[in-house]
Structure 1
Amino acid sequence: MPRIMLTDEYWLKLSRLLLETGRVYNKPEHRMTLEGILYRMRVGCPWRDIPSAFGDWNTIYRRFNLWSKKGVLLQLFTALKQSPDFEWEFIDGSIVRAHQHATGASTHESESIGKSRGGNTTKIHLAVDSYGLPIDFLLTGGEVHDSKAAPELIACLPDADFVVADKGYDSELIRELVRKKNGKPVIPRKSNSKVGNADIDWCLYKYRHLVENAFARLKHYRAIATRYDKLARNYASTLALAYCMMWLPM
């Protein structure tokens, strides 16, 4: 039997939330289906190579695809983040390589895969709370600069006392967006800035490693560290499930 990830306590919590979405029926095989999805996410194998102990691979894939299409896993992530600490919010972006099998989706919409120096890449733009737990994210092509995606990400975030980011977010537009949401931006200016960094809280800025730690935990999952999903919504659902695993012990 392959290693599993869900204890009885975790499954009880997840199964209740799955039923509350109103989009999932109460079926006993759902636990092993979810274990199969987590196995594939952890090891990064093709769907066909999921061990038969979890059930038929095609059933697992079709259920994942259906849940992704209905937004079930994103709803699960939203339901689990019940008590974030919004005193501090940390934002950052991280590039992941897209496998050659991730390209070529037969859709007319953007699949959040772009060309950058590293080839076909996707960028995860992530926000975490004061404890380093994920609170929101979005996907773009890997060539999109952090500062370009920041306005959309910040607009989705709850109001916080401080929003902390690195020099990649050095923009007066971004600072003004944070101030409009009653927060204080802690974003260092670049070395050629005439304003300088006398107003930066460097003690608070040191805690920016919390968002880097969240990315490190995410990339323990090989299906996230390398993108194999053709559809952006399926990759986003994989990310949402990884965030759920970070919130489950809370």
Structure 2
Amino acid sequence: MARLEPYFPKSHGKPRVDDRRVLSGIIFINRNGLRWRDAPKEYGPHKTLYNRWNRWSDKGIFAQMMVGLAAEHSEKNTVMIDATYLKAHRTASSLGQKGGRGRLIGRTKGGMNTKLHAICDSRGRPLNLFVTAGQASDYIGARALCDSLPDVDWLLGDRGYDADWFREALKDKGIHACIPGRKQRKATVKYDKRRYKRRNRIEIMFGRLKDWRRVATRYDRCPKVFLSAIALAATVIYWL
């Protein structure tokens, strides 16, 4: 709690309900994928949990927690980039959303999905996250996360990130790309196969995030709230 308190918004007027109890209840609900009304009584009224979750998610508090704590990573050697599919429940994908940029849910061969793009350090700890619709290309996530890459020597990625513009962008940043070439390329792309084997750590990171049921299955219609659930899981698992 001492590490998280600097990211809490200031309380105005009436003192806020105990932050430790409410945050513990929010974590319990997200980890087990329960309805808010099913929260144990020890965490207090479920409406309090839901209101705090909804209000702080809208302000981006949980995403700020993860980004702020991840800024202490001190990674100087290698980062990894990859993406994974997160299945959208019918409660999140039903009906359309008026205005905004949509719910970021797309149809793929596996059904309705949201795509999570992530950058992690050499230990498999997430540094930055980005969500798109399920049918979006890996290049969209790479373009969005490229500016937030830390000052490192290597970036590991699979064939989905084999694009000339991305390699040039990494070169301009002084980062060596360890990305195998697509089969359609006429010229073979050389890469460090021994170093590339370490990329399994980002796959392990995705697997641990999906242990949280509210991350593995998207129940939230609002993409900002869903990203908050992912950021909260990443914070609890890796940065506390």
- Structure 1 length normalisation: TM-score? 0.88
Which amino acid is the alignment partner of residue 51 of structure 1?
Answer: P
Q: Work out the CA distance in 1 between the residues paired with 2:229 and 2:98.
A: 20
> Is 1:102 the equivalent of 2:92?
yes
Aligned to 1:190: 182
Aligned to 1:219: 210
Q: Work out the CA distance in 2 between the residues paired with 1:100 and 1:47.
A: 18
Aligned to 2:163: 171
In the alignment, structure 2 segments of 5+ residues that lack a partner are: none
Deviation of 1:228 (Å) = 0.5
Deviation of 1:88 (Å) = 0.7
Kindly report which structure 2 residues correspond to 1:34-183, keeping only aligned pairs within 5 A, or say none. Answer: 34-81=23-70, 82-103=72-93, 104=95, 106-109=97-100, 110-183=102-175
Which amino acid is the alignment partner of residue 226 of structure 2?
Answer: Y
Answer whether contact 1:18 1:24 (CA < 8 A) is retained. Answer: no
Answer whether contact 2:66 2:239 (CA < 8 A) is retained. Answer: no
Q: Work out the CA distance in 1 between the residues paired with 2:125 and 2:10.
A: 26
Deviation of 1:85 (Å) = 0.9
Deviation of 1:106 (Å) = 4.0
Answer whether contact 1:111 1:232 (CA < 8 A) is retained. Answer: yes
Q: Work out the CA distance in 1 between the residues paired with 2:175 and 2:198.
A: 17
Secondary structure, counterpart of 1:156 in structure 2: coil
> Is 1:204 the equivalent of 2:191?
no
Deviation of 1:142 (Å) = 0.5
Once the two structures are superposed, residues 175-204 of structure 1 have per-residue CA deviations (whole angstroms, 9 ceiling, x without a partner) of 11111111011110023322213x301111
Partner of residue 229 from structure 2, selected from 234, 238, 242? 238
Q: Work out the CA distance in 2 between the residues paired with 1:98 and 1:230.
A: 9
Q: Work out the CA distance in 1 between the residues paired with 2:150 and 2:6.
A: 22
Which amino acid is the alignment partner of residue 208 of structure 2?
Answer: R
In the alignment, structure 1 segments of 5+ residues that lack a partner are: 1-10
What percent of counterpart residues are identical?
32
CA RMSD of aligned residues (A): 1.6
Q: Work out the CA distance in 1 between the residues paired with 2:97 and 2:37.
A: 21
Answer whether contact 1:86 1:130 (CA < 8 A) is retained. Answer: no
Which amino acid is the alignment partner of residue 239 of structure 2?
Answer: L
Answer whether contact 2:88 2:113 (CA < 8 A) is retained. Answer: yes
Which amino acid is the alignment partner of residue 233 of structure 2?
Answer: A
Q: Work out the CA distance in 2 between the residues paired with 1:105 and 1:231.
A: 11
Which amino acid is the alignment partner of residue 92 of structure 1?
Answer: D
Once the two structures are superposed, residues 222-248 of structure 1 have per-residue CA deviations (whole angstroms, 9 ceiling, x without a partner) of 000000111000011111111111333
Once the two structures are superposed, residues 82-136 of structure 1 have per-residue CA deviations (whole angstroms, 9 ceiling, x without a partner) of 1341411100000011001112364412221111112211000010011111100
Deviation of 1:12 (Å) = 3.1
Q: Tell me the matched-pair count.
A: 234
Between 1:126-135 and 1:110-119, the stretch displaced more is 110-119
- Structure 2 length normalisation: TM-score? 0.91
